[in-house]
Structure 1
Amino acid sequence: MPHQLLTHELNEVKNIIKSCFQRFIPNFNIEISPKCNYQAVQSIDRGIYGQVYKAALPQTEGFVAVKELKSFKHGDGRVNLQVVRDLGGLSLFKHENIVKLEGICVKGVVGGRTVNPYISLVMELCECNLSIPIKRRIIKEDSQRKCIMTHLLNGLSYLHRNRIMHRDLKPENVLINQNGILKITDFGTARFKHLDTRTGPYTKFICTEAYAPPEQHLGMRHYDESFDMWSVGCIMTELWTGETLFPVSALFNITRIIIDLCGEINEKTLPGVESTEMYEVAKNYKPGQKRILERKLSEEGIPLPAIQLISQFIILIRWQRLSAESALSHCFFVLISDDVQDLKGLLQ
């Protein structure tokens, strides 16, 4: 049952969060309210890290999205890092294409003789996520696709400039607000690289399978921001096809699908792969022909400038993938018209 945290309990939560982030962010500080003054209206989404619902604010006619995160601590007392990452990330980011954090509150839930703190993130309410217009096939114009990619790359460029890898980009984690502005959300698996010059080892098998780069499928633990750029290429392809480029199937290993489209995986095309436990699977699978990704995209009716851009995201050698900032200067954004400035037309 809900229980308002006592002062010392609230201070403990604040101190744990602060200690988790200070090694990355000097002078990190955060305000947390002991009162969760909102009323749930309807459920929006439920994920492995918590539930999101539309909520009414007291004494106003406004609505917000509230993400009730799971317990702040694991059963053995360890801090739930997914909760800290999501909370800390949204509290730090200030960008038009990153979902805005309106507030943070914490409540206690009694479990036996202890009171466990549960954190809620109060965020701006967005009308839908990008998977909805993709699945409904209502993205009809290339100018709409250009607008989506401009917003997405602007937000991602901001994250990467601040040395943050999202690590789970997919249409469900890209929102559209009532003004037609695209917003990146869900930082539960993000990696904060502030004051950290390492390129690993990082967590393996962390991204949603269909949007994960080959280095993840093969269990590699050294990667960088190019991880996200592969995911961007997968999302961009769906704007035309309405379907995932690398579908997850019980019948086919997704690594084989990647090899079929992108070519053979070996020490030259994916340096470092030879030291992974999954390498033999990839090494022994030979595609029928060389890279055919561009041909497949052309058969889907995707225009040439878009194919050229996607091809610079979906590439095995990770340091050859275009960065978010560089991608914004690609000819795709020059040759496609500017008829659409926002995404209100997708809010059906």
Structure 2
Amino acid sequence: MSTKTGADAEMDAGGTETMTVREAIRSALREEMEDDEDVFVMGEDVGEFGGVFEVTAGLMDDFGEERIRDTPISEAGFVGAGVGAAATGSRPVVEVMFSDFLGVASEQIINQMAKMRYMFGGKTEMPVTVRTTEGGGMGAASQHSGTIHTWFAHFPGLKAVAPGTPAAAKGLLKSAIRSDDPVFFFEDKMIYEQEGEVPVGEDFTVPIGSAHVEREGEDVTVVATQRLVGESLSTAEALDGEVSVEVIDARSLYPLDTETIVESLEKTGRLVVADESPISYGVHAEIAARAVEEAFFSLDAPIERVGVPDTHVPFSPTLEEEVLPGEEDIQAAIRRIY
């Protein structure tokens, strides 16, 4: 999907504003709520408290308790309520504080949200967006530090996105809220303060299913998600003059933009996939499989995967640092194949 639309087109036009990821998400929520009175937000502490990571701060003042709804601590209850609201004409944005607790609502997600439109022959729309945080780095222990977006990219009937920049965060969230299918929007809690240029204007969106080349290169392609997009860009800068690294923000996990990845591999011939989830059976494997299927004869070296070993994220800061992937791991992977 190499045509310039959305963020790319507006950035070329010069209409941008510097925002953090947090501000970009809040801006997307505000714009969509102003544009469509059927959009409302619900979840634990999203109202008066402003969200555990302050993403929804100030929205209750603007839109009131009817549209910024605090819920009981019951993921099964309020995710199920979101499914019902979406099926009956609203566009709920359901915030689940930590992605690790999505399992509590697995029945509502797997058997209802993902299947309802299919089981009714397409006659029932399911315009629900589930926002949730994931990732380690805060010393929050394993029940609050997982990266589990692979689960939701796997289930038919669901879309899953995991932005790595403020522009991607704003544009993808607006597209998610407008979608008539359920979308899981995964926010890396460690990049809320990351700044970047975001196209201005309520018409700005990022299409779900589109990746973005954040940095062009000639020797190695790194496809990354969330926090590891920034880590990959730092790695590319550090290796500049020695290895020319192209960095792609995958942005959308399902649907996946295979075309942009293949176009890059036809140029570089080498691939590193960097995603902060367990290595086995995950996003890494799917991107590697697509690369082999679509660009086998362009590959000059084995595909490298950078992620979390097949373990939970430890509470100990030293051990957490050991298992979480970062710039050193990405650089080592690049050096192994170039």
Query: TM-score, normalised to structure 2's length?
Result: 0.28
Q: Which structure has the larger Rg?
A: 1
Q: Choose between structure 1 and 2: higher helix proportion.
A: 2
